Amino acid sequence: MLEGLFGPFVEFSFMRRALVGCLALAVAAPVLGVFLMLRRTSLTAEVLAHGVTPGIAAGFLIAGLSVPAMSLGGLVAGLAVALGAGALSRATGGREDAALTALYLIALALGVTLVSLRGDTADLTHLLFGQVLGVDDEALLLMAGVATVTLPALALAWRPLALETFDPSFARAEGARGGLWHMLFLTLVVLNVLAAFQAMGTLMAVGLMMLPAVAARHWARELSGMAYAAVGIAALSAVAGLLASYHLDLPSGPAIVLTAGLAWALSVLAGPVDGLAARWLRRPHLAG
């Protein structure tokens, strides 16, 4: 039993690297996910994950599989999609989700096209699905670096972000600079998507960001509690997912996301806040 839990990490350095990388993702990204969920913009992360692909692909075209080049390209593309969609929807009076959807579909197709110009199927697979078990030093540094930047930045932005989400008019009337903090927040989301992208690929990058966040809603009734719950669920999913992928010989990225999905399903079923079990149990009502 213990051997099954720890053996793979003790024995293989690629498992240890994958573990460190995924834990780095798990401490920061789910907290962003909680805010995305509360702002009713859960899809933004997904859109940004696809939105970064043409930038990553451009980096790949220019410099091959180089982490700095691909990350820089992805950062530019991600910020362009995030800010572009906001500006576009304000300028045309349309809905932001519509503008985001249009942009990310174009971005994904463009990214795949760009990679196909030079790369082969293996490169495309790497782009789409990532390689948790193949994270190199640079990718690991990026993941750890992003987590290191994200946590203090979130701590600073915490109160304005919460206020802006809860009562935007009040935040504006009090001069809380909601727009500025929102930009910082979107930048953090893009950075985390890029870090996750190294391990999970463009299709699953937001799995560790959103699934634990959505699951956390069933474990806490207050913002900070939700954040803790989300990080805990993400970390557990990362470890369990890696172990499952090792023992059952599954692709590791999807295994981690599936584990997080399982955690979400369990939360919906048995979570203490608005879980289904609580409704089915029909305990007698209280006296007052």
**Binding residues vs other proteins (CB under 8 A):** 38, 156-157, 159-160, 162-163, 165-170, 172-174, 176, 181, 217, 220-223, 225-226
For other proteins, give the closer residue by CB, 33 or 55.
33
For other proteins, give the closer residue by CB, 130 or 178.
178
For other proteins, give the closer residue by CB, 220 or 231.
220
For other proteins, give the closer residue by CB, 222 or 249.
222
For other proteins, give the closer residue by CB, 126 or 218.
218
Q: How far is the CB of 165 from other proteins (least distance, A)?
A: 7
Q: How far is the CB of 162 from other proteins (least distance, A)?
A: 7
Q: How far is the CB of 230 from other proteins (least distance, A)?
A: 12
Distance from C-alpha of 29 to C-alpha of 253, rounded to nearest angstrom: 16
Distance from C-alpha of 45 to C-alpha of 218, rounded to nearest angstrom: 21
Q: How far is the CB of 167 from other proteins (least distance, A)?
A: 5
Q: How far is the CB of 176 from other proteins (least distance, A)?
A: 6
CB 241 within 8 A of CB 259: yes
Biggest CA-to-CA distance, the chain: 70
Distance from C-alpha of 177 to C-alpha of 161, rounded to nearest angstrom: 10
For other proteins, give the closer residue by CB, 118 or 159.
159
CB 255 within 8 A of CB 261: no
Distance from C-alpha of 106 to C-alpha of 30, rounded to nearest angstrom: 27
Cα–chain-centroid distance for residue 43? 11
Question: Looking at residue 222, what DSSP letter applies?
Answer: S
* Cβ neighbour number for residue 122 with a 10 Å cutoff: 9
* Cβ neighbour number for residue 33 with a 10 Å cutoff: 30
Of 95, 73, 75, 76, the C-alpha closest to 86 is 95
CB 209 within 8 A of CB 30: yes
Q: How far is the CB of 39 from other proteins (least distance, A)?
A: 9
Distance from C-alpha of 59 to C-alpha of 127, rounded to nearest angstrom: 12
For other proteins, give the closer residue by CB, 78 or 160.
160
Q: How far is the CB of 184 from other proteins (least distance, A)?
A: 11
